[in-house]
Amino acid sequence: MTIQWFPGHMTRARRQIQDKLKLIDLAIELMDARIPISSRNPMIDEILGNKPRLILLNKADLADPAVTAEWVQRLKRDGVDALPIDSISGTNVKEIIPRCKHLLKDRLEAQIRKGMKPRPIRALIVGIPNVGKSTLINRLAGRKAAITGDRPGVTKGQQWIRIAGELELLDTPGILWPKFEDQQVGVRLAAIGSIKDEVIHPEDVAFHVIRYMVPHYPQALCERYQLEGLPGDLTEPEPVIEVMEMIGRRRGCLQSGGTVNLEKASALFLRDLRDGKLGRISLEHPGE
């Protein structure tokens, strides 16, 4: 299975970002806290170069807090400042401007020593589609300054947005890369909704998530779907299908003859995952 995803507007977005780099002081990069590595575009490092960077682990309210804490420490060891946030509830959003100021502390202090009044910090906000950039901008601005949506590809162009006189944000469309070398990256992105469901079949995505959740979050599956137990070995496809059939029967996803409609059950399961109804789940761990 080869997943390719590079609409024309994403190609333009990359070129536009590179053109604006000379105007910005730092970059704010959003990742999804549930899949930090899979939800960051490896081209971003190449595009941004040595620009100071703040990483925001967004949707942290949906992720396993213990795993998120490990990611913050991992990124810190790599020399990157990282902050878990949730742009919908506002968790830690007020910490963003102070973190930006800290990253530019030397420059701001030098301007003050020269008797200059520091201008607003200019920051480029980047991330893959559907990672929550527009929702975050609206939360920071206290108004509907950016278009939001629960699907990839909502933001089509660039716009400058002033935040409380201290920060100016340049919003950009989400950028995915031309081809996923690791196909599991594409599946994880599809699991959280960053890739349109038409790209990868929902059953494939749901089966992948179940295969991960059985050893890591068995209780979450049992509690959500009132299951008494789970198969122990999911290295073969049959036990994964068995779990999905158990879920489908519990949720009434039956078809003619009393068999489970796996497509319907898979779609229901993914909707529960994305809505946080399975609890706080992370699908990547720093140690893996």
Residues contacting 283, CB < 8 A, separation 6+? 34, 35, 38, 188, 191, 192, 209, 212
- Tell me the DSSP string of 17-72: HHHHGGG-SEEEEEEETTSTTTTS-THHHHHHTT--EEEEEE-GGGS-HHHHHHHH
Residue 63's closest CA among 249, 219, 284?
Answer: 284
**pLDDT given at position 263:** 94
Give pLDDT tens digits for 271-285: 999 999 999 999 999
**pLDDT given at position 149:** 42
Give pLDDT tens digits for 11-50: 666 677 777 888 899 999 999 999 999 998 877 888 888 8
Which residue's structure tokens are 């196909």? Answer: 183
Which residue's structure tokens are 């349109």? Answer: 196
87 band by pLDDT with thresholds 50, 70 and 90:
very high
| Residue-range domains of the chain with CATH | 8-171 (3.40.50.300), 201-274 (1.10.1580.10)
In the sheet that holds 26-32, the strands lie side by side as: 81-84, 53-58, 26-32, 121-126, 167-171, 159-163
Which H or E run contains 269?
Answer: helix 262-274
129 band by pLDDT with thresholds 50, 70 and 90:
confident
Residues 20, 118: contact at Cβ < 8 Å?
no
Give pLDDT tens digits for 131-164: 888 899 999 988 766 544 444 444 445 678 888 7
Share of the chain above pLDDT 90, in %: 50
| Burial letters 271-288, b for 16+ CB under 10 A, else e | ebbbeeebebbbbbbeee
Residue 38's closest CA among 79, 9, 10, 3?
Answer: 3
